[in-house]
Amino acid sequence: MALGNVVITMDADLQDNPDEIPELYKLIIDKDFDLISGWKKKRYDNVITKNIPSKLFNAAARKTSGLKLHDFNCGLKAYKNEVIKAVKVSGEMHRYIPVLAKNEGYTKIDEMVVKHQARKYGETKFGMDRFVNGFLDLITISFLSKFGKRPMHFFGLWGTLMFLFGTTSAFYIGAYKLYKVYNNTKTILVTDNPWFYIALTSMILGTLLFLAGFIGELIIKTKSNEKHYTIKEKLNF
């Protein structure tokens, strides 16, 4: 458990320079930043296998998160102690700690150019699988950032649209069938019309999406009440 006011992380492959630590510490203490991320402006990695994918990854992360950082994946970072305690990291989400911190309300986030040293020992773990997983995690983070606290805004919207589409289609199919019967015109059975199954599927999916949003809202409300109750218990104690 970290007890200091400032927490600094760095990679263990000797590509990060420990001499950067005092400056990172000053930015947190003197400038009152919540988080400072290192930016390896000049890199000594392979251009094709790591530099270009890294640039694409960082560009996508900037676009979706709104944070103007050039190197989200840099291991050399400085944080206020409270930021580390507030951020919950799971899986390979460590590369998105600045985004997670922003989602928790810590907006004083900046970057500092740091030295990148050539690798002397070991081999890089970066590969196509981590590149793909990184983008999948980015999609997850982006979704949770926008709809994590209001799932009904996503599931409810799409559920309602799909249900209305299915209902409208079903009404049209039924009205068209009645029109043909009324005019004694030969027509197919409703169940032989492919649009009947499209309408039915849309109505079912729309209902399920709406219920998913409703259940999500109930879960968030329940967790919020549990957290409030826990805090109240501690204060009474």
Tens of pLDDT, residue by residue over 92-128, are: 777 788 888 888 889 899 999 988 877 766 666 665 6
- The β-bridge relationship of strands 109-113 and 6-9 is unpaired
pLDDT of residue 231: 44
* Structural domain span for residue 209: 152-236
User: Does residue 1 sit within a domain?
Assistant: no
Give residue 235's pLDDT: 47
123 in a structural domain:
yes
Residues 208 and 161 grouped into a single domain: yes
95: in domain:
yes
Question: CA 168 to CA 163: how far, in whole Å?
Answer: 8
165-187 pLDDT tens trace: 999 999 999 998 898 888 888 88
Tokens matching residue 231: 């805090």
Considering its fold, how many domains does the chain have in total? Answer: 2
CB 58 within 8 A of CB 71: yes
Helices 157-182 and 194-236 pack at an angle, to 10 degrees, of 150
| Length, in residues, of the chain | 237
Task: Give me the pLDDT at residue 236, please.
Answer: 55
pTM here is 0.64
The C-alpha atoms of residue 140 and residue 157 are separated, in whole angstroms, by 19
Tokens encoding 75: 């291991």
| Separation CA 137–CA 126 (nearest Å) | 15
Q: What is the mean pLDDT of the chain?
A: 82
Instruction: Report the distance separating Cα 124 and Cα 161, nearest Å.
Output: 47
**Band of pLDDT at residue 85, cut at 50, 70 and 90:** confident
Q: Of 1-15, 150-164, 217-231, which gets the smallest average pLDDT?
A: 217-231
> In terms of domains, do 175 and 80 share one?
no
User: pLDDT tens digits for 21-51?
Assistant: 999 999 999 999 999 999 988 876 665 666 7
